[in-house]
Structure 1
Amino acid sequence: MRSTSYHPLPVTPTTWVDRAPKGLRPYLYLTRVDKPIGTLLLFYPCTWSITMASYALNTSPLVPFTYVTLFGIGALVMRGAGCTINDMWDHKLDKAVERTRARPIAAGDITPRQAFWSLAPQLSAGLAVLTQLNWYSILLGASSLSLVVIYPFMKRITYWPQAVLGLAFNWGALLGWSAVAGSVDWAVAAPLYAGGVLWTLVYDTIYAHQDKADDVLVGIRSSALFLGQRTRPVLGAFSAGAVGLISYAGFLNDHGALFFAGAGLAGAQLARIVWRTNFDDRKSCWDGFVGCGKAGLFIWAGALADYTYMKVTQVEEQETSSSE
C-alpha cells in the first residue's frame, strides 16, 4: 500500500465557530457545524424522495417546501448527534490519527461525559422534528437509530463500515417519501435508497483514503484499505450503479427529461471525481469527497425542475381552459 501524502494542507479559514463563546466552541466543533458537507450528504436523499413523492402525488408546492425545510433542520441536528456518538466511541482511536486528534474529545477540550450530556438537546430537537410527521414515518425514523449507534463499531470488525454509513445516511430516501405519502412506495423508493447507498460508498471510500496510513497502524478497517489499488475501477462501478438505480427509480415514478438530465449531471460529476482523485493525496481526497456532494445536489435539482415544470404546465393548461 502506498503511503498517503502528508504535504501541508491549506490553513482552515476562520469561521463563525471561532468567534463563538469559548466554552461553546468545543461543542460546535463536536457537531461539525463548521463543515456543512456532512449535513448536506445526509440532507440530499431526503430531498430526492420528498420531491419525487410530491411529483407522484401531484401535491401543492407547499408540501415539498414544508418537508424540505423540516428535514433540513432534522439533518443538521441528527448529523451533529451522529458525530457526537462517533467521537464518544472513537476518541481513543482519534488520538492516534493525525487528521482527527484535534477533535474536541480526543484533544481533551471536553470529556466523554460532557459529550454524552450534550446529546440530550440534540436528540430532543431531532425528536421534535420527527414528531411533526405521521405515525408511519415516526416509527420508520426511529428504526434508523440502531444504524447510527452501531456504525462507530463497524470499523473495528469489518472493512465495509462505509456500507453501514450508507444505510444510515440514506434513510431519508425512505423517510421523506413516507412523510409526504403516509407510507413508502417501495417499488420506487427501494432503488432510490440503494442508489444512495452506492453513492455513499463512493464518497466515504474517498474520504477514508485520507487516513489509510494511520488506520493500518491503529487497526481501523475501511473500504479504502480493502480496495487499495482497485479503488478507481470499483468506485467507477459503484458510481454507475448509483446513477443507474436512481434513474430507474425516476423511470418507475414517470419522471420526465429534466429528472434524467439531473441524474446525468450527477453521473458526470462522479465520473470526473473518480477519474481525477489521487487516492494517495489527502487534499485530493478531501476535494473529491466534497465534490461528491454536488452529485446529490444535481439529482435533487433534476427532480425539482421536473416537479416545477409539471406544476407550471398544469397552471398554463388551466388558464388556457378557462379562457376558452
Structure 2
Amino acid sequence: MRFMARRKGWRLAALTTLCLLAGRAADLGDPVARPVVTPGLATAGNGAGVGPCAAPPSARLGPPTTWIVAGQSQATTFGMSRRTLPFVWASDLNAYIWVWDPERRVGHWEQYEPGVNSAPKGQWGPEVQLIREFRKDHPAATLAIIKYAPGQTGVALDPDRRDWNVHSRGEAWDRLADMTDAALRTCRLTVNAVFWMGNHNDGLRADHAALVNKDMGDLVRTSRARWGAGVNWIIGLPDDTAPYFAAVGEGLIELDHADPLMASFDTHHYATQPDGLHYDAASVVQLGRDFYQGWRELSRSRQLPPSREESIRRALSQF
C-alpha cells in the first residue's frame, strides 16, 4: 500500500493536511551541542545529557527522531561545499550528525553544520533540506542523522570494488552497521527511516541490474532485522546516466510495491553538475525535499502521534 503523491514520478495517493500531524512529539529540552565520545562498539557509553539526548526523559515528549542517509555519491553529495549552499544556513540547535572515525571506531554527536561536519570532508547533501522540512512541522523536536554514502558503490556483490551487498565482509553495509550501532547506543536511539540514493553503479552492468530487486531486498530485510521491523525506506530512483538504469528502476519499483514501509520517487528531472552525473545544488535540495515528502506520507499509514499542542499540554499537566 502506497501513500505518495504522483508528482514527477511519485507513485502514491495524494497528500492530505493530516500529514502535518504525523510527526513525533516536540522536544521541550534545550540540547547542548557538546560531543559524546563513544570509544568503540564494545564500550560505547550511554551518552546521557549530551547530543540528541541532552534533555532528560522527564522533559522530552518523545525520543529523538533518528534517520540514516545512505547510498553512493549522489547522496553524499559530490562537490557540495559551504560555498554552494543556495541559502543562508540558520544553525539548528536540535539537529545532530554522528561523526565517526572508522579506523579507531570512535564517534560523537555534533550539532549539524553543512560544509563543516556533513561527512565526508564537509560535503553537504539532502540531509540539509531534510532538516529544514522536518523543522517546519516539528519546531522543537530533536533530530539525529547518521550519514554514510561512499562513492562508486552498487548493491550487487562485486569482487573488484566495494559494495553494499550484505554478503560482503567489511564493506559498505558492515561499515554503516558498525557506526550506526555505536550511535544508537549513546542513548538507546531507534532508527526511524533510511533515506537511500544509490544504485547508479548497479546500472553499469546488465547482470548487476537484474539482481537489484533481490540484493536491495536483502539489504532492507537485514537493516530491519538489526534495527527494527518498522524502519521505513525512502528510495530515490536513479536517473538515466547508466546504460541499464531501466532494469534497476523496475527492480526498485517492484520492491516498493511489495513493501508497505517503502516509498520511491523519480529523479529524472533533477539537474546535474557539468560532469553529467552528480546533482547540482538545487537538485540536492530537491532530493531532500522529496525524501521528506516520502517519509511524511509513509507516516500517515501508522497511528498518528499527538499533535505538538496536545503533547505540550500533556507535558505541562505533569507539573
TM-score > 0.5, shorter chain as reference? no
Normalising to structure 1: TM-score of the pair? 0.29
Q: Which has the larger share of helix?
A: 1
Normalised by the size of structure 2, how large is the TM-score?
0.29
Normalized per residue, which structure has more strand? 2
